[in-house]
A and B are shown apart, each in its own frame.
Chain A
Amino acid sequence: MLKWIVLAPLIGAIVNGFFGKRLPEKVIGLIACSSVAVSTGLAFFAFFTRLLPLPADQRVITEHFFTWIQVGKFQADFAYLLDPLSGIYLLFITGVGLLIHIYATGYMHGDPGFYRFFTYLNLFMFMMLTLVLADNLLVLFVGWEGVGLCSYLLIGYYIRRQEAGDAAKKAFITNRIGDFGYMIAMFTVFVTFGTISFVTKAGVPSFLVQAAEQPVEVWGAAGVMTAIALLLFVGATGKSAQIPLFVWLPDAMAGPTPVSALIHAATMVTAGVYLIARCSAVVVKSPTAMLVIALIGAATAIFAATVGLAQNDIKKVLAYSTVSQLGYMFLACGVGAFTAGVFHVVTHAFFKALLFLGSGSVIHGMHEEQDIRRMGGLKKYMPITFATMMAGWLAISGFPLLSGFFSKDEILWKTWSTTALPHGWGRALWVVAALTALLTAIYMTRMMVLTFFGESRFGHAHDAHDHGHNDGHESHGKPHESPAVMWVPLAVLAVLSIVGGFVGVPAALGGSNHFEHFLEPVIAHVAPHEAAAAAHDAHGVAGVAGVAGGEEHHDVATERLLTGVSVLLGFLGIGIGFAVFRRRPLRQMPKLLEEKYYVDEAYEASVIQPLETTSRDFLWKGVDVRVIDGAVNGVARSFAGAANLLRYTQTGSSRNYAAVILIGAIILIGYFGYMATR
């Protein structure tokens, strides 16, 4: 059954891909959405009726599809693994994916490439589900690359626009740099452990189980575990847009908004977190790697937040916000709170997808205007969009009791109280994360204020340029609310953003933190708390079950105090945002931030230009033309030259030929005569 979850979108993609050109829009949309609906239904069914009833430490369902590679010791099957981690991912990927598919049927209405869009979107779902349900590193990599491919196809969906194509290439190439790290990590895993599988197969324990038995590496030393963890993180950096490979994500906003919502907010960019969480057994064995991950996560978070403060395109604000929130997730992983990171993945999927879809609704209603400086006062024209986006805004700012509050708080608390990092680092990182939370609230408020509150700044300003592709809205009249097919998904996501956090209420606040306990068997415990009880059973457990609670003796009072601090920061941020930007919406933000610290320009000068110059002048003109072509042509020319010389022997005169024969005969006779005498 698991394979149908994965294959249904593929079938949808194939049908739409081959026949879509001739089908009407409604049919295409129906095929696409129903294939994802099938996946969603099966996913929920499998999760709730198959996985959940199992006892906590045996929650593993595997399904073998076909054997792909089997060479000597190396085996990579297309087999699927359903356990708590992949189950959670499965639920929100299919659920949010379905909502976005429905939304997109409305958003992309009238676009000539409608069928192409849904083909790629379904293909993406197939790839993402392969990634999440894979039971070994190689098949995961297939999905990994596949989502990268679909990201490329979808970012560059507007094939007539130069910037779309450039952004697509940038995304793909930057991803590939990360993929290099992933591949080396995969090879290292195989060489070290003899298997790349997450489940124990044919008597060979999975590499996660093997890793759990390795000793923790010394801080600062470069061992195998550190290497693997860091290389995997390099791959995650590329896919999940962390420093230094984040530059593709803001540019990726050139794609249609549903793409930004699905791929670059909810699903693909969380694949990096999935990878790190899945391989947590390896990561926790390397304190060095964990510190690196935490540092980069925190740095990315605050860096992106500062840049998001100064952006004027509504989608770019959200893009940098995504980068920042992803930084939070990696920070959580770096301090050992993998479950908190995954929790934030889920809540972030809800509210970020909501925010993106809402922004798409705004853009749609404003006739393709994306600059927030030209919006304003939209709350009376687009009330439903406004209400739903408000839910998302408050969630991301950490408003109490909303989903974002619980997940972000969890991360903040775990950062403060971590024992995985050397003493003091946790506190310092908490400060950075808290500052980021403040900045998040500020910039999100700025965006909401400039878009929905205050006076309308649109009107004659955007009459001058019409870059809309939709046909039915040529009139530059008032902005209008979106059709039901678009605001219903918004409403659903708003509800989820509000209530979605209640599965993970921590004990300090009175909850029982179902989320964390659910995920625990699959995630490795961090070193000092490690109970080191690895449970193997006949089914093969995909991770270490180290449940022995070291968790419970944390400081409840401090946690409540810090929670209060973060609530305060949230309100403070919202307040600052209103105060500053309500009065002067068009206040100019610092140029450095607006130009995103000139990172792109720096890359261009330091990496891209040298590469281009080397390729063009050295490799092409020097090596290819002069050396290789020269050698080949030189050989040909030498032959021609030699033949030219030989030409002189063909004089056409028979006297010459006779003379030559005579000379030859003399030589031969002489030779044989000489031989005869010896």
Chain B
Amino acid sequence: MEIIHLLFLGLAALAVVAAFNVILQRNPIYSAIGLIVVLCCLAALFLTLHAQFIAAIQIIVYAGAIMVLFVFVIMLLNVREEESRGDRQKYLKWIAGPLFIALLAEIAAVLRLVDTPAPAIANPNQIADPSTSLGTVESIAHGMFTDYVLPFEATSVLILMAIVGAMYLARRGSQAEMDRIEKALGGQGEAEPSTADDHVAV
């Protein structure tokens, strides 16, 4: 057991625990934090796989932008602890466990039967030809702007559409709508009572 294995196991355990945290927590902020932990563990694992660039942008983009967005939205909507209203699909709670085990068992079975190959490249850290070594910014850029230039451009158009769409969907509504939301969100530091039965938002 080398150090790399231990490292892997530690990161993996942390990631799994954090993932469970994401799905089992009541407060969405805690779920968000759990997800951030998962992302960072994954970034570390990327590094062990010689995917430096990917690891970096995982942190920058995923953890740094997307999760921040999530947290902003959670705070904007002032989501509290989950009110335990009647769960209409109660049975799902019970079948989730067995489904979990079933899926895992299947994947384990498949993995057992598949021969995993030895790595094709012994050590990608050859500096002899930086453009061909795996995972460096140079090689990724090289591939991106030659083979994958079309998906790249398409992705930029996609992001443009996403910007426009997000702006439109989330725009401020009419005054009446705003008032209604104000009323719904009211009680945060104001004198209005904030009991659940007052503004039963269904």
Interface residues of A (CB under 8 A from B): 651, 653, 655-656, 659, 662-663, 665-666, 669-670, 673, 676-677
Contact = CB atoms under 8 A, between A and B. Distances in A.
Nearest to A673: B110
B106 A653 contact: no
A670 B106 contact: yes
B127 interface: no
A673 B105 CA distance: 11
Nearest to B99: A662
Majority DSSP secondary structure for residues of B touching A: helix
Interface string B77-102: 00000000000110010011001001
Contact of B106 (A655, A663, A669): A669
B109 interface: yes
Nearest to B113: A677
B92 A655 contact: yes
25 contacts: A651-B89, A653-B89, A655-B89, A655-B92, A656-B89, A656-B92, A659-B92, A659-B95, A659-B96, A662-B99, A662-B103, A663-B99, A665-B103, A666-B99, A666-B106, A669-B103, A669-B106, A669-B107, A669-B110, A673-B106, A673-B109, A673-B110, A673-B113, A676-B113, A677-B113
Contacts of B103: 662, 665-666, 669
A666 B102 contact: yes
Nearest to B102: A666
Contacts of B102: 666
Contacts of B89: 651, 653, 655-656
Contacts of B106: 666, 669-670, 673
A659 B92 CA distance: 8
B6 to A, nearest CB: 31
Nearest 10 A/B pairs, CB to CB: A669-B106, A666-B102, A673-B110, A670-B106, A666-B103, A659-B92, A653-B89, A662-B99, A655-B89, A656-B89
A665 B99 CA distance: 11
Contacts of B95: 659
Contacts of A666: 99, 102-103, 106
A663 B113 CA distance: 22
Contacts of B109: 673
A153 to B, nearest CB: 74
Interface string B107-126: 10110010000000000000
Contacts of B99: 659, 662-663, 666
A653 B110 contact: no
B23 to A, nearest CB: 13
Given A653-B89, A656-B89, A673-B106, 9 more contacts: A651-B89, A655-B92, A659-B92, A659-B95, A666-B102, A669-B106, A669-B110, A673-B109, A677-B113
A661 B109 CA distance: 21
A655 B110 CA distance: 27
Contacts of B92: 655-656, 659
A656 B92 CA distance: 8
Nearest to A656: B89
Interface centre among B96, B106, B113 (most CB of A within 10 A): B106
Nearest to A670: B106
Contacts of A655: 89, 92
Contacts of A653: 88-89
A652 to B, nearest CB: 10
B155 to A, nearest CB: 27
A42 to B, nearest CB: 94
A676 B113 CA distance: 9
Contacts of B113: 673, 676-677
Nearest to A669: B106
A677 B107 CA distance: 14
Contacts of B96: 659
A181 to B, nearest CB: 75
Interface in B11-26: none
Nearest to B103: A666
B162 to A, nearest CB: 21
Nearest to B109: A673
A150 B91 CA distance: 79
Contacts of B88: 653
Interface string B18-57: 0000000000000000000000000000000000000000
A657 to B, nearest CB: 11
A321 B95 CA distance: 96
B89 to A, nearest CB: 6
B107 to A, nearest CB: 8
A143 B113 CA distance: 89
A662 B110 CA distance: 17
Contacts of A656: 89, 92
A447 B106 CA distance: 109
A643 to B, nearest CB: 22
Contacts of A662: 99, 103
A650 to B, nearest CB: 13
A669 B111 CA distance: 12
A662 B98 CA distance: 12
Interface in B106-150: 106-107, 109-110, 113
A669 B109 CA distance: 10
B154 to A, nearest CB: 27
Interface string B180-193: 00000000000000
A653 to B, nearest CB: 6
Interface string B53-75: 00000000000000000000000
Contacts of A669: 103, 106-107, 110
A676 B107 CA distance: 13
A124 to B, nearest CB: 81
A673 B96 CA distance: 22
B45 to A, nearest CB: 24
Nearest to B114: A676
A110 B68 CA distance: 106
B95 to A, nearest CB: 7
A663 B96 CA distance: 10
A662 B96 CA distance: 10
A669 B92 CA distance: 21
Contacts of B107: 669
A665 B113 CA distance: 19
A651 B102 CA distance: 24
A659 B97 CA distance: 12
A79 to B, nearest CB: 85
A647 to B, nearest CB: 16
A663 B95 CA distance: 10
B161 to A, nearest CB: 23
Nearest to A672: B110
